[in-house]
Amino acid sequence: MSAIEVLFLSKEDVDSLELSLEDMLDAVEMGLDAHGRKDVLLPSKDHIPLDWPQNIFNILKGYVGPIRSVGVKVLGDFSRNHEHGLPSELSTLLLIRPETGAPYAIVNSTAITWMRTGAVTAMGAKHLARKDSKVLGHIGARGTSWYNVAMMDHIFDFDEIRGTSKRPESRERFCRIMTERLGKEVRVMDNCLDTVRDADIIIDASRLTEEEVLVPDSAVKPGALLQAYGAVLSVERTLPFSVDKFVVDDWNQCHTSKYGTFAGMIQEGAIRDEHIYGEIGEVVAGLKPGRESDEERILFWHKGFAVSDIVLGHLAYEKAKERGVGTPLTYFASPRDE
């Protein structure tokens, strides 16, 4: 057997690829479609809860059929990392061939995590929001927020985008930079209620460490899509029952992981099978309709799953190979059966 080589991609290597919004959205849509058609293996994500919710590791893993790739992502979610000048989430993705178990790429997936979360948010909006959605209300200003707003605006070309977050300097910077990038105003808002009230699409990417209602039920108008995916509950407990459709990414995973916005309500039996309309993959694959009327209030909760990391990590790997980006490493120079 010849040497086993693996390609290492740093944070800056991934940044330098400047993956296009289209390529990312296409890759994630392909992954969701495969999930819907059950052409994936997706064991439950799990955790090393060092000191939850301040510090926790999430371990995501799976197999994606259409690209024949196994992936494991280890993500540290450290809510106080900004005190060290670090993003809260640092992560590493290992991509492996399913024929022999040999890895082929090791990727700093810090940005990939943001991209894939943004892309799933955008896919949720594409399939579950009103096509004529014009007003976006967005809570959160770090990590995934950049991609949430950029990708959804790419799809919807909003008339009005409102942004807020807990720390004033953080939300001001976010709205200023996004305004430049999109070439349209992203309004900085100083409170959550004004940000989300009567918006067509409401995204809550807050990073609470204690429960707090940031999005009251009454702010979610008929026809609106709400996505809330922070670590800690930020909506009213009545919301999952007052919406017309509650869509998740992977219902098995929602059951088995005890962390994340609605996890507590699932654990205690408040949210059960009968409350769930379906999985986003089923909608993307055409197995279930998405939005069926302009009046529906829809809730989409994505906990995040390995499928999206794997498809985007694989996309980054392929682009990097094409362009000679990254550090090729010899993983095993002279493999033999020992």
In angstroms, give the least distance from the CB of 224 to a copy of itself. Answer: 28
In angstroms, give the least distance from the CB of 167 to a copy of itself. Answer: 10
In angstroms, give the least distance from the CB of 254 to a copy of itself. Answer: 17
In angstroms, give the least distance from the CB of 92 to a copy of itself. Answer: 6
Smaller CB separation from a copy of itself, 52 or 251: 52
In angstroms, give the least distance from the CB of 1 to a copy of itself. Answer: 4
Cα distances (Å, whole numbers) of residue 16 to 64, 73, 90, 320, 326: 25, 21, 18, 9, 10
Smaller CB separation from a copy of itself, 105 or 199: 105
Smaller CB separation from a copy of itself, 124 or 143: 143
In angstroms, give the least distance from the CB of 113 to a copy of itself. Answer: 11
Smaller CB separation from a copy of itself, 76 or 304: 76
Angle at 12 between CA 178 and CA 181, to 5 degrees: 15
CA distance linking residue 79 with residue 133, whole number of Å? 32
The answer to whether 55 and 330 are in contact (CB under 8 A) is: no
β-strand pairing of 40-41 with 55-64? antiparallel
Smaller CB separation from a copy of itself, 114 or 158: 114
Smaller CB separation from a copy of itself, 15 or 294: 15
In angstroms, give the least distance from the CB of 121 to a copy of itself. Answer: 17
In angstroms, give the least distance from the CB of 70 to a copy of itself. Answer: 6
User: Which residues contact a copy of itself (rule: CB under 8 A)?
Assistant: 1, 4, 8, 10-12, 41, 43-44, 46-50, 55, 57, 59, 61-63, 70, 72, 74-78, 81-82, 84-92, 94, 96, 98, 100-103, 106, 108, 110, 114, 142-143, 146, 327, 329-338
In angstroms, give the least distance from the CB of 192 to a copy of itself. Answer: 21
What is the three-state SS of the chain? Answer: CCCEEEEEECHHHHHHHCCCHHHHHHHHHHHHHHHHCCCEECCCCEEEEEECCCEEEEEEEEEEHHHCEEEEEEEEEECCHHHHCCCCEEEEEEEECCCCCCEEEEEECHHHHHHHHHHHHHHHHHHHCCCCCCEEEEECCCCHHHHHHHHHHHHHCCCEEEEECCCHHHHHHHHHHHHHHHCCCEEECCCHHHHHCCCCEEEECCCCCCCCCCECHHHCCCCCEEEECCCCCCECCCHHHHCCEEEECCHHHHHHCCCCCCHHHHHCCCCCHHHCCEEHHHHHCCCCCCCCCCCCCEEEECCCCHHHHHHHHHHHHHHHHHHCCCEEEEEECCCCCC
